[in-house]
Amino acid sequence: MRRTKLLLSLSLGLIPIVACGDSDNNTTTDSGTSTTTNPVTTTTPTGSESDTDETTAGPTTAGTDTDSETGVTDSDTTDTTTTETTDETTDETTDETTDEPTTDPVCMQGEIVCEGNEAKVCDGMGGFESSEDCGDELVCVENVGCLFCEPGSSVCEGEQVMICNPNGDGYFEGQLCDPLQGTMCDAGLGKCVGKCAAESLGTSYVGCDYYPTVTSNAVSTNYNFAVAVANTSDSPANVTVTRGMNMINQVTVAANSLKIINLPWVQELKDGETLDSVWPSKHVAAGAYRLRSDEPVTVYQYSPIEYKGLGACTPQQPLDCSFTNDASLLLPTNVWRDEYVVASRNGLGNQIPGFYAVIAHIDGTTVTLDPSVTGGQVVAGGGVAGDGTGVIMMNQGDVLQVYSTESESVDLSGTIVTADKPVQVIGGHRCIYIPNTTPYCDHLEESMLPVATLADKYVVTAPLIRINATDEISPRMVRIIGAEPGLTSISYDPPQAAPTAIADAGEWFEIASSGADFEITADQKVLVVEYMRGHTATNSAVGDPAMAVSVPSEQFRTEYLFHAPTSYEYNYVNVVAPTGATVNLDGAALMNWQAIGGTGFSVSRVVLDDGNLGNHEITGTMPFGISVYGYGIDTSYWYPGGLDLKTIG
């Protein structure tokens, strides 16, 4: 016999069928007596009544009361003859219709349904053509039949999550539940659980697993490569830093606080201390550090974190200044993706290249490089050809660092990096003039945002800089890079004297030396990057080039915990918020808002003090964005203070 519960769970939907002739649900009286049909109620697989239940009742003779829900006729109108005839007719009808379709829905011919762990093939008439017992080794999958496992399902093997492949004939490795991240594999759920599990973290710059990565920089090793780890939770965070199989450091970061961790330079990636000491493009096994926390944290890396040495670092005696610094916001591995567009800068001559670095998180990651129109000349090496193309196999912690040639016409910006597993990409430059003829050069680096998280609207604001004891607007360069195939149209609010179209993905243009605040609106996704100019272009005693990616307004947040190094002369934060929103920095409401055209956004530029060791907390009543930057003698840094990383479009 068919089971109603089984048939009603078919994925093709439920179609109540009522037999046209007699059925075992009909009650028939003798001649001259009314006929009453009992209600037919369709139920869902859980046994609860469906919202689309249908109840039918036949006509009754005048003076006869019928309960429309039960179909029972009042006793004062029903005689013995009627009851006896009903019983006989019911029995007869049941015998005659045993093998005929009833009120149960009928599955399509050839459709496979599961009854327990038995796979049955429907005949389209309410029965089955054949069946197969899946036994103890296989599982029955609706519409498919007996498989080794149900595609997409997961199980635990120790702390390793194993996911059933699309064919249902085996498992592949999913997430490894990591005690250093406070996660464990729940056998009942078949997934990692804990504060640092992917489902608990959501998608933002807050995470538990990061890869700090040294990039090409000519700075002296007397200065420290470092990360700032901000604990966003109410519990202490135990942080572990490794490189390959080697333990590097373990620290505890107190609740809602921040700690600086100095890390050794990775010489293969840093290169030498003279500007022209660059080796070919390279693939460095286990070149990145891995930083894990058992509480959600945010991580910024500084290359290097100081700009002053042990001696005098003044405009008059600059030899103890680092000269070449920048900082990057790092993205946790749970928001890494498989496609990026690179932002870099042109070669400077004298073997001083632009670069980008690709970092792998999972063994056996295949990375494919598609150079832009301007990025087709690189220093070959590490599996990368001289034309910038390459397909490279990478393992966990590996770093692929690709250098442009020294030509000023070569710029790696717009190169598209794809991978078959999630990766991180950092774009930058060893030491660059901005503009090309304006001293002095400075190191650039910034984490690229995955294409999946880019958008079509950005609000960009110019930085402040200290000039003769006054903070003034400092014009910067704004670069817009196409991220999707085909023509991209662009507009500005307020209007700008700037290009309004990009021909294709990977192509770009730059708005030169603008001090304006404005919104960029495109009809496709774009990557927006801002660059500070060189020291001699600013009329200031401080500063040099720096680079920051702009955050789409759709990825703004309502709170951030960030760090501004106290060793720098001046630190600032630009805050972009919806006009009328309340934003509090370290507990004090921000003032001095300036409206940005007709965008509905306003900007407040704030000088940061060195209180709380440079650690700052900022919150708002509506989502807002921040960019953090600072200046020293002939150097600077700039990075987005944080963002959400939701998939857009």
Domain boundaries, the chain: 154-194, 207-640
- The residues with which 381 forms a beta bridge, in sequence order, are 384
642: left (phi over 0), alpha (psi -120 to 50) or beta: left
**Can you tell me the distance from the alpha carbon of 603 to that of 572, in angstroms, rounded to the nearest whole number?**
13
Q: What pLDDT shows up at residue 31? A: 37
Instruction: Give me the half-sphere count of Cα atoms (radius 13 Å) on the Cβ side of residue 248.
Output: 19
Q: What integer pLDDT is reported at residue 159 of this predicted model?
A: 96
- What pLDDT score does 440 carry? 85
**Mean pLDDT of successive 10-residue segments in the chain (649 residues)?**
33 36 39 36 36 37 38 39 39 41 71 96 94 96 96 96 96 92 96 94 97 95 95 94 98 94 97 79 98 98 85 63 90 98 89 94 98 96 98 99 93 98 98 87 96 99 94 96 98 98 98 95 99 84 92 98 92 99 98 98 98 94 98 91 97
Question: Residue 269 belongs to what H/E stretch?
Answer: helix 267-270
**Residue 152 main-chain phi, psi, to 5 deg:** 90, -15
pTM of the model: 0.80
Q: How far apart, in whole angstroms, are the C-alpha atoms of residue 238 and residue 293?
A: 6
Determine the pLDDT at residue 95.
41
CB neighbour list of residue 146: distance below 8 Å, 6 or more residues apart: 119, 132, 134, 135, 138, 139, 140
Tokens of 395: 């393992």
Alpha-carbon distance of 9 to 114, in angstroms, equals 9
Distance CA 510, CA 332 (A): 30
Separation CA 475–CA 461 (nearest Å):
10
Measured distance CA(581)–CA(106) in Å, rounded: 58
Res 136: pLDDT: 94
Separation CA 21–CA 34 (nearest Å) = 17
Structure tokens at 237: 């965070």
Backbone angles phi, psi at 270, to 5 degrees: -70, -35
**How much of the chain, in percent, has pLDDT values that exceed 70?**
82
* DSSP H helical ranges for 391-452: none
How far is 391 from 407, CA to CA, in rounded Å? Answer: 24
242: which residues sit within 8 A by CB, 6+ positions away?
248, 289, 290, 292
Which of the 8 DSSP states describes residue 538?
T
CA distance 183 to 616: 29
Residues 6+ apart with CB under 8 A from 628: 562, 564, 571, 572, 573, 608, 638, 639, 640, 641
Residue 115's DSSP bridge partners are: 118
Q: What are phi and psi of 171, to 5 degrees?
A: -115, 155
**Between the CA atoms of 115, 118, 123 and 124, what dihedral angle is there, to the nearest 10 degrees?**
30
217-256 pLDDT, tens digit per residue, is 999 898 999 999 999 889 999 999 999 999 999 999 999 8
